[in-house]
Amino acid sequence: MVCLAYIAKSEYVSTGTEWREMDNEKNFTLRVMTIDDYDDVFALWNSISGFAIRSIDDSREGVDIFLKRNPSTSVVAIADGKVVGAILCGNDGRRGCFYHVCVLKDYRRHGIGREMVAFCMEALRKEHINKVSLIAFTKNDVGNAFWNSIGWTKRLDLNYYDFTLNTENIIAFIDN
Ligand SMILES: CC(C)(COP(=O)(O)OP(=O)(O)OC[C@H]1O[C@@H](n2cnc3c(N)ncnc32)[C@H](O)[C@@H]1OP(=O)(O)O)[C@@H](O)C(=O)NCCC(=O)NCCS
């Protein structure tokens, strides 16, 4: 398991396993997400205003399938004994993808999002994946500010296409 803990920004503490980050006010750790995290992660998703939750893809069974195909690249952030952040991250053998990147509201702006992204990108590199992408709704000002600020490229030269293969995979938007 990969974890790192920082006591203050840029200072770490080794805990025997590997830890990721903490800071002075909001100590947190990162580790690979497993299906045992599902209930906590699902509750987190349901607290995120604007999130689109899909009835099949985001069910326990759907997430289990995803994590079985991608067992080492998704992440949870733990603080105060609970899951406060998560990214579903996988790849198709060529490109990486991120889904449901989120941090619990009270824990934002402490570097958790940035560190989770770094954690997943490192996990993808270990799988020899050379590029990663994600979808951000155009009206998601916070999400777009985040991706821009951490150095991701907003593509203006392409259109996103999709096709629904299963109409029973119904979307519910979280409106908190
Ligand atoms: C986007 C999100 C994951 C960021 O998590 P976070 O832990 O707050 O992010 P970080 O603290 O690592 O922020 C890194 C940088 O992103 C930028 N940023 C983050 N939130 C921002 C905001 N609300 N407004 C402007 N810039 C922001 C800042 O430059 C920040 O660095 P700084 O705090 O040193 O100024 C979190 O706000 C969230 O869960 N939002 C709701 C879900 C969502 O929109 N997800 C993205 C879907 S595409």
Please check whether residue 119 lies inside any domain of the structure: yes
Q: Has residue 176 been placed in a domain?
A: no
- The domain total for the chain is 1
- Cβ of 101 less than 6 Å from ligand 1: yes
CB 173 within 8 A of CB 50: yes
Instruction: Note down the domain range covering 10.
Output: 2-152+162-170
Measured at the CA of 138, the angle between CA 33 and CA 85, to 5 degrees, comes to 20
Running DSSP on this structure, what letter comes out for residue 137?
-
pLDDT higher than threshold 80 for residue 17? no
| Average predicted confidence (pLDDT) for the chain | 89
Atom 23 in ligand 1: residue holding the nearest Cα: 142
Span 109-159, pLDDT tens digits: 999 999 999 999 999 999 999 999 999 999 999 999 999 999 999 999 999
Q: Are 116 and 77 in contact (CB under 8 A)?
A: yes
Q: What share of the chain is helix, strand, coil (3-state, %, to 5)?
A: 25, 30, 45
Bigger pLDDT: 20 vs 129: 129
Specify if 157 maps to a domain: no
For residue 62 and ligand 1, the question of a CB distance below 6 A is answered with no
Q: How far is the CA of 140 from the centre of ligand 1 (A)?
A: 11
Q: In whole angstroms, give the CA distance from residue 80 to residue 27.
A: 8
- Nearest-CA residue for ligand 1 atom 32 is 109
Query: Can you tell me the distance from the alpha carbon of 166 to that of 162, in angstroms, rounded to the nearest whole number?
Result: 12
Position 123 in a domain? yes
Strand partners, 68: none
Cα–Cα distance, 176 to 166 (Å, whole number): 27
User: Whose Cα sits closest to atom 39 in ligand 1?
Assistant: 102
Q: Which atom of ligand 1 is nearest to the CA of 102?
A: 39
Check pocket membership of 109 for ligand 1, CB cut-off 6 A: yes
Q: How far is the CA of 41 from the centre of ligand 1 (A)?
A: 18
What is the CATH classification number for the domain harbouring 82? 3.40.630.30
Please report which confidence band the pLDDT of residue 9 belongs to, taking 50, 70 and 90 as the band edges: very low
Say what the pTM is: 0.90
Q: How far is CA 162 from CA 96, 109, 137, 148, 165, in A?
A: 17, 32, 14, 24, 9
Q: Which residue has the higher pLDDT, 67 or 15?
A: 67
Q: Is the CB of 110 under 6 A from ligand 1?
A: yes
C-alpha of residue 118 to centroid of ligand 1, in Å: 14
User: Per residue in 40-98, pLDDT tens?
Assistant: 999 999 999 999 999 999 999 999 999 999 999 999 999 999 999 999 999 999 999 99
pLDDT for 176: 83
Mean pLDDT in residue range 1-10: 39
CA distance 8 to 27: 9
